[in-house]
């Protein structure tokens, strides 16, 4: 790193600023060709698009100190601090800084303090809106004020932050834009972006430089911010209250001499923030992370000079509506999780029209809202933040009935064989409605098939079956749901043995007759229907039949129907027995 060396307990810690005189000397050496040949940059293709605000994967990427050439539009908040004694901006640049308003710049205190002496505003100038340091001329903006943090001391690294005020405000553009001050804790492994014109060669903890050079074009790269543990590195001098720790897993991304005072920028929900100020470290990309002044710790101090310009909320979700868009029902606005937490005001709308006096977090749907959608807007306010309004998605059209809270999905069970019985299941409903049924064959209604069960006929062979149910209940929306179609109905297998049944017992009034189905193969289950003179006797569906006096002089038969999964339902009828007259 360029700049002052200080002794630490075990290692040598370097501040990442270049003194103006050292900058001039290095520039002379560079012109004479006496510096080390710069190491080649190792850059992954994916890193060429690594810019603040572009989503990156949660893993580290490999790149040498200084990163790659970037345009000023990539980091339009970046400024160069120039020694006015120099002949050109390149020869005079010794630190960086970040625009935080049209007049104010945040930088590192050690850039502006030498021992007990503080840099005078007239001795420095500022380059803004340009990624290239001119090697032929000096062109800078004037400085009117320098404010160094009152607790900073030049022999330490704490409170390494200062403010510079421009003599005249700048106009914002794609090349000149401020960073917002980040006022919250930075989460572990947050992707950040550093930039500057500092040295691009690795530097060991003794100050030896590998591949040193100072670029004329602004450099930028990604790093990741660690938590208070600093990746377990145990960095001597690290203070988690006043500093941030950032780097990459292979320690090949870092800031270096000449980058001091520059930005450690993060992007949260589309807004760019200044989270850290390049401060110090043990070497550059030398197996340890870089150390940065934690800006959130100094937000109040900055505000005393700059004033508190409103900033955007870190998180500002759209609200949602809970409840049913039904006359008489209560809707509730859920504002979501805002960061930081604000105060909320509400306004409900019917269609696009604000509803008079509907300014609470809940709203009871009125009869006048029928056939309109309901939305709610939530306005968030908090001191220091831009007042923000978000709107919900619209509800369904308001009706006078509400949907069932729980609506079941119907299904069909049973053997898909002609002659077999299918059963409709309605699923779980709450509250319990009244159901009507319609059976469908290839989605076409089957005549008179309107019960909870249906006996398949030969007409359904080769077709799929489904059932449509209609749920009705007073106060609730009539709901129609259809089951998924079954596989195709088949004729089924034939029983290898299917004898006619026989009747045992005396065919006389008061006597009991018994149906004997015979020996079927394979074994089925049986159902029975007794007949009188060939007509079914109501309720006579057991295997036995008590002959009543009304059947005197009649012929009695029994029909046995055999059922088995995968087999065609088969009916056989017995021979008749005659009941004598009295």
The CATH number of the domain holding residue 518 is 2.60.40.2700
pLDDT of residue 15: 52
User: Are 106 and 62 in the same domain?
Assistant: yes
Residue that finishes a domain, picked among 255, 273, 306:
306
User: Are 228 and 265 in the same domain?
Assistant: yes
pLDDT of residue 269: 87
| Distance of alpha carbon 31 from alpha carbon 128, whole angstroms | 25
pLDDT of residue 209: 56
**Ramachandran region, residue 45 (left: φ > 0; alpha: ψ -120 to 50; beta: rest):** alpha
pLDDT of residue 236: 86
Q: What is the CATH classification number for the domain harbouring 262?
A: 2.40.10.10
Which of 458, 463, 417 lies closest to 440 in space, CA to CA? 463
Domain limits at 247?
A: 5-306
Whether the CB-CB separation of 214 and 198 falls below 8 Å is answered with yes
User: Are 34 and 129 in the same domain?
Assistant: yes
Residue 490, in any domain of the structure: no
Total of domains in the chain: 4
Q: What is the CATH classification number for the domain harbouring 431?
A: 2.60.40
Please report where in the chains the tokens 């055999």 appear, as a residue.
562
Neighbours of 21 (CB within 10 A): 11
Which distant-in-sequence residues (6+ apart) come within 8 Å of 16 by Cβ?
Answer: 1, 2, 3, 108, 198, 255, 256, 257, 258, 259, 260, 278, 279, 280, 281, 284, 290
Question: From the candidates 50, 83, 134, 160, which is the catalytic residue?
Answer: 160
Sheet strand arrangement including 465-472 = 444-445, 434-441, 465-472, 479-482
User: Are 454 and 566 in the same domain?
Assistant: no
pLDDT of residue 1: 29
160 is catalytic: yes
Residue 43, in any domain of the structure: yes
Residue 552, in any domain of the structure: yes
| Distance of alpha carbon 395 from alpha carbon 370, whole angstroms | 12
Per-residue pLDDT of the chain (582 residues; tens, 9 = 90+): 223 222 222 223 445 555 443 343 333 333 333 222 222 222 222 222 222 222 222 222 222 265 889 999 999 999 999 999 999 999 999 999 999 999 999 999 999 998 778 899 999 999 999 999 999 988 899 999 999 999 998 887 899 999 999 999 999 999 999 999 999 999 999 999 999 998 887 655 555 555 557 889 999 999 999 877 787 777 888 999 999 999 888 777 888 888 999 999 999 988 999 999 999 888 787 778 889 999 999 999 999 998 766 778 889 999 999 999 999 999 999 999 999 999 999 999 999 999 999 999 999 999 999 999 999 999 999 887 889 999 999 999 999 998 898 999 999 999 999 988 999 999 999 999 999 999 999 999 999 999 999 999 999 999 999 999 999 998 899 999 999 999 999 998 999 999 999 999 999 999 999 999 999 999 999 999 999 999 999 999 999 999 999 999 999 999 999 988 888 889 999 999 999 987
User: Are 136 and 236 in the same domain?
Assistant: yes
Whether the CB-CB separation of 413 and 342 falls below 8 Å is answered with no
Tokens representing 306 are: 């700059």
Q: Which residues of 229-263 are buried (b: 16+ CB within 10 A; e: fewer)?
A: ebbebebebbeeebbbbbbbeebbbbbbbbbbbbb
Question: From the candidates 101, 134, 195, 260, which is the catalytic residue?
Answer: 260
Residue 494, in any domain of the structure: no
**Ramachandran region, residue 307 (left: φ > 0; alpha: ψ -120 to 50; beta: rest):** left
User: Are 372 and 255 in the same domain?
Assistant: no
Which of 82, 87, 179 lies closest to 121 in space, CA to CA? 82
Residue 403, in any domain of the structure: no
Residue 396, in any domain of the structure: no
Please provide residue 336's backbone torsions phi and psi, each rounded to the nearest 5 degrees.
90, -175
Residue 62, in any domain of the structure: yes
Whether the CB-CB separation of 160 and 301 falls below 8 Å is answered with no
pTM strictly above 0.85:
no
| Distance of alpha carbon 388 from alpha carbon 311, whole angstroms | 10
Question: From the candidates 83, 110, 498, 574, which is the catalytic residue?
Answer: 110
User: Are 196 and 218 in the same domain?
Assistant: yes
Whether the CB-CB separation of 14 and 1 falls below 8 Å is answered with yes
User: Are 183 and 263 in the same domain?
Assistant: yes
User: Are 265 and 328 in the same domain?
Assistant: no
Which distant-in-sequence residues (6+ apart) come within 8 Å of 257 by Cβ?
Answer: 1, 2, 3, 14, 16, 17, 18, 198, 199, 203, 284
Neighbours of 346 (CB within 10 A): 17
Whether the CB-CB separation of 15 and 3 falls below 8 Å is answered with yes
User: Are 53 and 95 in the same domain?
Assistant: yes
Residue 529, in any domain of the structure: yes
pLDDT of residue 28: 34
110 is catalytic: yes
User: Are 425 and 555 in the same domain?
Assistant: no
User: Are 344 and 267 in the same domain?
Assistant: no
């Amino acid at each position: 790193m360029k700049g002052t060396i200080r002794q630490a307990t075990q290692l040598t810690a370097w501040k990442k600023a270049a003194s103006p005189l050292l900058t001039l000397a290095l520039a002379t050496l560079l012109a004479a060709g006496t510096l080390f040949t710069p190491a080649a940059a190792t850059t992954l293709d994916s890193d060429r698009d690594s810019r603040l605000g572009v989503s990156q994967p949660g893993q580290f990427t490999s790149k040498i100190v200084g990163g790659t050439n970037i345009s000023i539009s990539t980091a339009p908040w970046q400024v160069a601090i120039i020694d006015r004694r120099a002949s050109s901006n390149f020869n005079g640049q010794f630190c960086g800084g970040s625009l935080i308003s049209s007049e104010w710049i945040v930088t590192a205190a050690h850039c502006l303090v030498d021992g007990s002496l503080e840099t005078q505003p007239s001795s420095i100038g500022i380059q803004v809106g340009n990624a290239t340091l001119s090697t032929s001329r000096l062109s800078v903006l004037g400085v009117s004020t320098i404010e160094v943090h009152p607790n900073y001391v030049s022999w330490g690294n704490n409170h390494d932050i200062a403010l510079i005020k421009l003599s005249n405000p700048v106009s914002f553009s794609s090349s000149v834009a401020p960073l917002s001050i980040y006022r919250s804790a930075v989460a572990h492994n947050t992707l950040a972006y550093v930039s500057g014109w500092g040295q691009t060669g690795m530097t060991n903890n003794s100050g030896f430089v590998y591949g040193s050079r100072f670029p004329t074009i602004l450099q930028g790269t990604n790093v990741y911010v660690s938590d208070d543990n600093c990746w377990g590195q145990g960095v001597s001098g690290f203070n988690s209250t006043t500093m941030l720790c950032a780097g990459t897993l292979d320690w090949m991304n870092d800031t270096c001499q000449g980058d001091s005072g520059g930005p450690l920028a993060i992007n949260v929900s589309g807004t760019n923030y200044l989270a850290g100020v390049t401060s110090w470290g043990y070497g550059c990309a030398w197996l340890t992370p870089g150390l940065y002044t934690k800006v959130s710790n100094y937000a109040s101090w900055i505000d005393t000079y700059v004033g508190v310009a409103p900033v955007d909320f870190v998180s500002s979700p759209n609200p949602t509506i809970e409840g049913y868009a039904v006359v008489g029902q209560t809707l509730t606005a859920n504002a979501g999780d805002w960061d930081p937490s604000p105060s909320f005001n509400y306004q409900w709308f019917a269609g696009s029209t604000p509803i008079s006096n509907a300014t609470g977090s809940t709203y009871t749907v009125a009869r006048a809202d029928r056939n309109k959608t309901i939305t709610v807007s939530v306005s968030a306010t908090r001191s220091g933040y831009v007042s923000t309004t978000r709107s919900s998605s619209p509800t369904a059209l308001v009706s006078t009935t509400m949907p069932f809270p729980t609506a079941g999905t119907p299904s069909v069970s049973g053997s898909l064989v002609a002659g077999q019985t299918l059963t409709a299941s309605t699923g779980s409903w709450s509250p319990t409605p009244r159901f009507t049924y319609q059976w469908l064959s290839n989605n076409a209604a089957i005549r008179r098939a309107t019960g909870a069960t249906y006996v398949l006929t030969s007409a359904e062979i080769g077709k799929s079956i489904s059932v449509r149910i209609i749920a009705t209940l007073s106060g609730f929306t009539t709901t129609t749901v259809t089951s998924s179609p079954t596989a195709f109905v088949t004729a089924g297998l034939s029983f290898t043995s299917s004898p006619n049944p026989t009747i045992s017992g005396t065919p006389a009034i008061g006597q009991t007759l018994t149906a004997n189905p015979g020996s079927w193969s394979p074994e089925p289950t049986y159902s029975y229907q007794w007949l009188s003179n060939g007509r079914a006797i109501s309720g006579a569906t057991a295997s036995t039949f008590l002959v009543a006096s009304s059947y005197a002089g009649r012929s009695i038969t029994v029909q046995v129907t055999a059922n088995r999964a995968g087999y065609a339902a088969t009916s056989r009828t017995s021979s008749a027995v005659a009941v004598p007259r009295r």
